[in-house]
Amino acid sequence: MFLPSRQALHSVLRRHNCRLFSFSQSSRNARKGLILGVYEKDKNGDSARFTQAGAAFDTYLSGKLSQMLAISGPPIKKGRSRVFYGLHEDFPTVVIVGLGNGSAGVCGKENWDSCKENIRAAVSSGCRALQDLEVPVVEVDSCGDGQSAAEGAVLGLFDYDDLKSKKKFKVTTRLHGSTDLAAWEKGVAYGEGQNLARWLMESPANHVTPTVFADTIEQKLASHSDRVVIHKRPQSWIEAQQMGAFLSVSKGSEEPPVFLEVHYNGHPDTSKAPLVLVGKGITFDSGGISLKPASGMDAMRADMGGAATVCSAIVTAATLRLPVNIIGLAPLCENMPSGKANKPGDVVRAKNGKTIQVDNTDAEGRLILADALCYAHSFNPEAIVNAATLTGAMDVALGSAASGVFTNSDWLWGQLQKASVVTGDRVWRMPLFQHYSRQVTDSQLADLNNIGKYSRSGGACTAAAFLREFVTAEHWAHLDIAGVMSNKDEVPYLRKGMSGRPTRTLVEFAAGLASKS
């Protein structure tokens, strides 16, 4: 393909009163930036196709934008961006982002909506480019899906720098035009919900203790007091509830445990059976007496990812005023080694009376969830869904591609899977066979063993089977989110760090229940 020389290229640009973007150039004085989408060439097309907003902008400029795009280099690849200056007085900086194939949609092989994922990745790329250029205000093309565009913008710009002296440049994003405003605002709520979970998970354990975690969620829900009731249950309440498994984990730490209980009454009929969400809330996991290796232990500040995603989903539901009743339960504590900590071989008694032999103190998440799941049944729920960074085995099995789902309900699986296709934050069904149950019920000293007969085989499955021993509800699902806890570069619209996944899938799942009710 013929490409003009740089001298010829700049000559054309000067005739149009434009400049080609260069990373050495500065746009610190730019007032606003604009992000517009472009699709790949179709089979019969000779040039890339702009989105509706992009085409309108190009028409206003008498085709100048398409000319600049054509001569500035090869077609923009999916998820990439290209920046131009001087095209428009109100938008000194314009970013064109690649949306891939415009005909993309739900992909059965990938189990997500490729169009939505392309928009999220493209918009996040454009927003980061403008953030690096320190453009303070950015208008974003909806690209045909305002919600996905907003999610890409909000998620793509998040960076945990609270404790750094040098902060990321602050960028304010808003929708370009007004035709998709409701969808944009919904996407902002979804994105901010996941960012809340990311903030909680990323924060150091000495900054977000069980008490601070509970206080943070209370503050986030303060403006929804007409629909939300919060209980921060102290240790005395936990003892009165006979949650011996939860207490056994917390007793090794100097930080007091908290059982956080959040009631969101969004349905007009407050007596309607609620959805109960349960999240593992280990704010730091040392492994206890079964101490983890030092390498990577710092990441265990995010072992409360289940509680973070569950509580953030409820904050989002309240923001959107979803017409559904939700109860969130988060047993919060640290798992630390001390003279009071659980010892391998100890036997503890759960809320439902079952005894548990604790052969590995690093399998603590299932202990605190056992008592929380027992308590969840007292609300006569429509369904119970728990989320937990439970097993390294889940990371080995699926990696960061999807959260593993273990469920006794085909209906519940269908609802979760449907929600994950929309959000792109996927789930994958895992087996819940009696084969695994027999491994955790074969215990020398107690009714159950917390690591199973064969500790290294099917670890995620035996952990799920253990939890099942505390469930009698017809519709229950356990999400093992250990594999999706953090992001390196797998999800292009999330920076490196704790991911906050699958917050948006939980919100979309709740929204699905709300629409049916």
Residue-range domains of the chain with CATH: 6-177 (3.40.220.10), 192-516 (3.40.630.10)
User: Is 278 in contact with 369 (CB distance < 8 Å)?
Assistant: yes
Q: What is the DSSP letter of 122?
A: H
For residue 325, which phi and psi values (nearest 5 degrees)?
-90, 130
CA–CA distance from 404 to each of 25, 70, 135, 317, 485 (Å)?
46, 44, 40, 23, 12
**In this structure, is the dihedral angle defined by the CA atoms of residues 186, 187, 190 and 192, taken in order, positive or negative?**
negative
Helices (H), 77-180: 114-132, 146-157
| Catalytic residue of the set 280, 351, 366, 504 | 366
| Separation CA 126–CA 70 (nearest Å) | 19
Would residue 366 show up in a list of annotated catalytic residues for this protein? yes
| Catalytic residue of the set 41, 174, 292, 418 | 292
pLDDT tens for each residue of the chain, 517 residues long:
333 444 443 444 444 444 444 333 444 444 799 999 999 886 665 567 999 999 999 999 999 999 999 999 899 999 999 999 999 999 999 999 999 988 788 999 999 999 999 999 999 999 999 999 999 999 999 999 999 999 999 999 999 999 999 999 999 999 999 889 999 999 999 999 999 999 999 999 999 999 999 999 999 999 999 999 999 999 999 999 999 999 999 999 999 999 999 999 999 998 899 999 999 999 999 999 999 999 999 999 999 999 999 999 999 999 999 999 999 999 999 999 999 999 999 999 999 999 999 999 999 999 999 999 999 999 999 999 999 999 999 999 999 999 999 999 999 999 999 999 999 999 999 999 999 999 999 999 999 999 988 767 899 999 999 999 999 999 999 999 999 999 999 999 999 999 999 999 999 999 999 987 6
213: tokens are 């975690």
Element (DSSP H or E) covering residue 261: strand 258-265
359: tokens are 């052969």
Residues 6+ apart with CB under 8 A from 436: 452, 458, 461, 462, 464, 465
279: tokens are 């999240």
**In this structure, is the dihedral angle defined by the CA atoms of residues 63, 67, 68 and 70, taken in order, positive or negative?**
positive
Would residue 233 show up in a list of annotated catalytic residues for this protein? no
pTM of the model: 0.93
